Each structure stands twice: as structure tokens, then as C-alpha cells.
Amino acid sequence: MSELPKSLEEAIAQSRIATQAALADGCTRLQVEYLFPELKMMLVAADFLPMFDEYGSRLKIFFADAGAAALARREWADKPYKIEDIGTGRATPVGSKVQPEDEIFLFITPTAVEVPQLEKLCQEIGDRPIVLLNPRLEDAGTIGIGYAGRQTRERFISTIESSYYLRPVDDETAVFRCYPGLWEVWVEKDGDYQKITELPNRPSGDELDLILMKQSQTATDSTPAKKPSVFKSLQRFIKALSS
């Protein structure tokens, strides 16, 4: 059973293990999410990438835009893997970006804007595994909240499984999933962080509110001195990375 990480470095290490386990179990569409503000994803991606070392040039990495892809080629010039941009807004044929020798694909921070092109790329990729690192695919303003948006979610976004998910709700609460475990809610309790529930699916906002309401009703009136919040520590760690 995975414990709540105490640093971003520990979270990335957990996510590598979880994603490798999911791939070994035959999962082919995975996403890894560290939902903190101010993350510098080039640094995070560099720490995540060692799990793909065995693939060498058979790994293809996609960035959301050409500028980010060009920067990655400069930063990682000594690496064997191939780097592309998703190609949104250009007439580049999707087929030219996916080659038969490509075995596994990593998409770094794709957003809702890239979903149409991302879906086409995934169709071209077929059954080969893909991993999405910190995607932001469900912006209602872009995907939509009506029939078309619902179809996109059912047809494509819902086929992607979370191998790792860490979202601080506030300084005292987090939603956590580390494959193959269930979805978990952790809260600060008795001066430490404890898991209060497990769920088969990611809790919605309303479900989370209900869980926390029940938790607060069962909490004792006596509150011991709190230890420093792991999430405040994580935020400091992230700010240090971002500086």
C-alpha cells in the first residue's frame, strides 16, 4: 500500500513505479497527474523519464506546441528518444508523426485545446501504450458541456486510466491514487495525515464534500497540536524547483 508522499521527488518516484505496474498489466492509455500550481514540467519530466530508459529511440515524446518541443530537443540533446509537437493548428499529417518503430509514447502536459489532434494521434498509435504526464484535457470552456463534450469524454477521455494522481484539496486534505490501489482521501488527523476512505473511482466535488462533512462530524473536539502540513512542504519544494 502506497503512503502519501512527503515531497515532489517521492511523488514522481511513486508515479514511475505505478505506471510501470500498469503497463506490465497491459494498460495502454495512462495518465499521471501531480496537481500543484507552478510546476516546471521540464524538470518534472526529466525526473519521470528514467522509467523509459529501456526503450531508447523507440520512445517518442510529444509536447503541446512546437516551442516546447524545440526547447526539449536542446535540453535533452544527448538523449536517444524522439521529440515532436502535437501539431495542433497545422496541416501536418498525423501519420507522419507516428512511425512503425515507435513503441511507446509520452505526452507532456497536453491541454483541452489539443484534444482533437491528440485523439487522432492516439487512433494512429493504436494499441501501443501512451502515457500522459500532467494532462489538462477537461476544460469545459474548450471541450464543452453539452452533447459534443459528453461524446468526447465517452469516446476518448474516459478511455484513459489514472496510474497516479495527487491533488491537494487544501492544506489538510488530499485525493490520492497510486495504481493498482483504489482512490483515497487523506486528511490531517491527530496531528498526522491519515487515509479516511477508499473509493473505486475518483470522487467528484460533491462526493468529496460529503466525505469531509462526515469526517468532521465524527472528529473529536480536542485537537492536538498540528504537525507541519505535508502539502505546505510540497508547495515550498515546488517553489524551490520553480525559482
Report if residue 3 sits inside a domain. no
Q: Each residue of 107-158: pLDDT tens digit?
A: 999 988 888 899 999 999 999 999 999 999 875 444 444 545 556 666 788 8
> Can you give the residue range of the structural domain that contains 102?
8-242
Report if residue 14 sits inside a domain. yes
Q: What is the mean pLDDT of residues 219-230?
A: 50
Report if residue 1 sits inside a domain. no
Is the pLDDT at 225 greater than 50, yes or no?
no
Report if residue 209 sits inside a domain. yes
Report if residue 100 sits inside a domain. yes
Query: According to the model, what pLDDT value does residue 183 have?
Result: 97
Query: According to the model, what pLDDT value does residue 199 have?
Result: 96
- The number of folded domains in the chain is 1
Mind spelling out the 3-state secondary structure of the chain?
Answer: CCCCCCCHHHHHHHHHHHHHHHHHCCCCEEEEEECCCCCCHHHHHHHHHHHHHHHHHHEEEEECCHHHHHHHHHHCCCCCCEEEECCCCCCCCHHHHCCCCCCEEEEECCEHHHHHHHHHHHHHHCCCCEEEECCECCCHHHHCCCHHHHHHHHHCHHHCEEEEEEEEEECCEEEEEECCCCEEEEEEECCEEEEEEEECCCCCHHHHHHHHHHHHHHCCCCCCCCCCCHHHHHHHHHHHHHC
Report if residue 138 sits inside a domain. yes
Average pLDDT, the chain: 85
Report if residue 69 sits inside a domain. yes
Domain CATH for 121: 3.40.50
Q: Each residue of 56-89: pLDDT tens digit?
A: 999 999 999 999 999 999 999 999 999 999 987 6
Report if residue 2 sits inside a domain. no
